[in-house]
Amino acid sequence: MNKSSRIFYLDFIRVIAILLVIFIHVSAIDTTLNIGSGQWQITKILNYLAHISVPIFFMISGSLLLNSKKTTSLSYTWKQRIPRVAIPFILWSIISPIVVGIYAHSLSFKNVFSVVKTILYQPTSPTLWFMYPLVGIYILSPVIKTFVQNATTTMLVYVTGIWLVTCSLLPSITVMLPKSFNHVLELSPIANFFLVGGFTGYFILGYLLTKVKVENTHSLVLLAIFLIFGLAGNFISEAVPAIFDANNGYYVTSIFIPIMAVAAFILLQKWGSRIKSPTTIKIFEFLSPLVFGVYLIHNLLILYVEPWFMNNVPIHGLLATFTRYLFVLILSIAIIWVINLIPGLNYLLTGNSSKKK
């Protein structure tokens, strides 16, 4: 693949990923209503399948950062890259409790400060959890880049294999075993694999997928893998809720999600590389720079949109879900697009600027 097609397919995948993220959060309330009904089951399956989005974001970061020569520069990393994610993260961490306080009619400096002062310990808004591993990976990216640029493909497969087995496969099997066996495959905390653990595995995996030939992978096979593991994962999550551990760790510890994410990433890579329509390309290239800002703002809009729709719009089920979804999506894009037109503010709230970094 040439350089331009690679850049576009990553834009394509990034936009698809944010569409899925927003669906997860919009449909979350619907997974708790009318439990057992057909529409509930469909919504829950779609919600589960959409969980590939977060891993895909980390894989995109790995594809970009670990293929960039600038990543080994500590100066560039700390002066250019980290501020572009850390500054919007900090500002939205302050904005979020203010917006929530206005919504709850309990806004005060004391309340906002009590939330913000714990920013290093916990997110001030549930969706901002994503920023903690992302900033951590940005900080470690020069180290990881130094490793991958000197590693063979075999070594990269070895590292991601260790990650998949220790961080995903064993934890998944462990929670599905009978209680009398639930510690048989559990690794001692002392024997940790943190250097290839957590979301770092997705980061390296994203880079690895740019180094192996995926063009000849059959799309139907990838789609089958995605659906089989998606449906299986959804079923297991109902039968064994413990597989959805706290703090969103299930993105790693559930073996189903990494396998789904890899299949989906390759499939979207193939689809994105085949797009030739200038109009379609322009649409995705317009949306791609807005994705980070849309991620940061969309949950605050859901806070207001969700109760208003449920109280004032007389539709229910999947139609209601997708109506709210489209409204939140369009409103998020519109607001972030306006912010991106304002020099200075665009950098502070979205990490974007007129200068190329």
- Residue 32 corresponds to which amino acid? T
Per-residue pLDDT of the chain (357 residues; tens, 9 = 90+): 344 445 799 999 999 999 999 999 999 999 888 888 888 999 999 999 999 999 999 999 999 999 999 999 999 999 999 999 999 999 999 999 999 999 888 888 888 889 899 998 899 999 999 999 999 999 999 999 999 999 999 999 999 999 999 888 988 888 888 877 777 777 766 666 655 678 999 999 999 998 887 777 889 999 999 999 999 999 998 888 777 766 778 898 899 999 999 999 999 999 998 999 999 999 999 999 999 999 999 999 999 999 999 889 888 889 999 999 999 999 999 999 999 999 999 999 999 986 544
Length of the chain: 357
Cβ atoms of 129 and 92 closer than 8 Å = no
The pLDDT mean for the chain works out to 90
Could you tell me which of 10, 80, 19 has the C-alpha nearest to residue 46? 19
3-state secondary structure of 14: helix
Q: Domain map of the chain by residue range?
A: 3-350
* Cβ-proximal residues to 83 (8 Å cutoff; 6+ apart), any chain: none
* Cβ-proximal residues to 88 (8 Å cutoff; 6+ apart), any chain: 292, 293, 296, 348, 349, 350, 351
DSSP annotation of 111? H
Long-range contacts of 300-309 (CB under 8 A, 24+ apart): 300/95, 300/96, 300/99, 300/100, 300/125, 301/328, 301/331, 301/332, 301/335, 302/25, 302/26, 302/328, 303/99, 303/100, 303/103, 304/103, 305/331, 306/26, 306/29
> Residue 246 has what pLDDT?
62
> Residue 243 has what pLDDT?
78
> Residue 214 has what pLDDT?
75
Long-range contacts of 280-287 (CB under 8 A, 24+ apart): 281/8, 284/8, 284/11, 284/12, 284/15, 285/8, 285/11, 287/11, 287/15, 287/333
Q: Using the structure block, give the residue that is written with the tokens 């089958």.
A: 224
> Residue 357 has what pLDDT?
41
Q: What is the pTM (predicted TM-score) of this model?
A: 0.92
